[in-house]
Structure 1
Amino acid sequence: MEETPSSSSLAKNRRAAVGKAGEDVAARHLQRSGYVVKERNWRCRSGELDLVALDGETLVFVEVRSRSDPSRFGTAVEAITPRKCRQVREVAIHYLKQCQADFRPIRFDVVAVTFGKDGSVLEVKHLQGAF
């Protein structure tokens, strides 16, 4: 008998696919804006940094939020909570220590990507210095 995936695993796979697609859109947006993407999905025990980029001399930690149905779950920007901001800051400290990043200004940005039901990109919002 063939096993079928549960609805929760299908939803998890869909969320992961939307998240990956959002990160791809965000990385391209940053590159078109002149940023140099240094890292994607950098991980440590404390969590993950979606994107680490250079904007000139500034090291930018970028949190990417994606939504495919904002009417149901809220907008991508609304998904940035104080708890998430704290976690990104904590992971950024680990990044700076572990990667022995040279002294330079740092900034925390958010790129919020909204997809249509057909998968098309409806909106990309880049919030510099978001937190």
Structure 2
Amino acid sequence: MLAKGYSYEERAAQWLQAQGWRILQRNYRCKVGEIDIIAMDDSQLVFIEVRSRSNRRFASAAASVDRRKQQKLLRAATVYLRSVGARENYPCRFDVIAFDPRQSGQDAELRWIRSAFTA
């Protein structure tokens, strides 16, 4: 399962770079949580959670970023901002890149949710 999750994170990172984004860090880990991708979108610092689902019968990948997960991401982002100092003056946002299975076919569809939640 780890390999599958990594492949979705890799697809998300490649997609972001194709959009002109600069990836600053992947899989940032600290005591309070993890952030899948940290990137710059023009002059905005973006914390990105990558989620996937393999079965359409359960909640969507995006819906799995519940309030508890959002709080963990917020805490991890705060730690990150304190650790880099200089970037804390950039406006920040939280995006979700979700991969849900298509109705037919094997390849999951990428869905980008800009400003998925706020602090």
- Which letter does structure 2 place at the counterpart of 1:90? R
| Identity %, equivalent residues | 39
Separation of aligned partners in 1, 2:86 and 2:56: 37
The Cα of 1:115 is off from its aligned counterpart by: 4.7
Match of 1:56 in 2: 42
The 1:84/1:101 distance shift into structure 2, 3 A limit, reads: farther
Bigger Rg, which one: 1
Match of 1:105 in 2: 91
* Residue of 28, 31, 37 corresponding to 2:17: 31
Kept in 2: contact 1:62–1:109 (CA 8 A): yes
The 1:101/1:69 distance shift into structure 2, 3 A limit, reads: farther
Q: In the alignment, does 2:61 pair up with 1:76?
A: yes
Larger CA deviation: 44-53 vs 97-106: 97-106
Please report the TM-score for the alignment, with normalisation by the length of structure 2. 0.88
Superposition CA RMSD, Å: 1.6
Deviations 1:69-99 (A, max 9, x none): 232x332112110110111001000000012
Separation of aligned partners in 2, 1:128 and 1:54: 13
- Which letter does structure 1 place at the counterpart of 2:114? Q
Helix, strand or coil at the partner of 2:116: coil
Gaps of 5+ in 2: none
Please report the TM-score for the alignment, with normalisation by the length of structure 1. 0.80
Matched residue count = 114
Helix, strand or coil at the partner of 2:16: helix
* Residue of 37, 42, 55 corresponding to 2:28: 42
Deviations 1:26-75 (A, max 9, x none): 1111111111111000111111110000000000000110112232x332
Q: In the alignment, does 2:82 pair up with 1:92?
A: no
Kept in 2: contact 1:18–1:66 (CA 8 A): no
The 1:33/1:120 distance shift into structure 2, 3 A limit, reads: farther
- Which letter does structure 2 place at the counterpart of 1:100? G
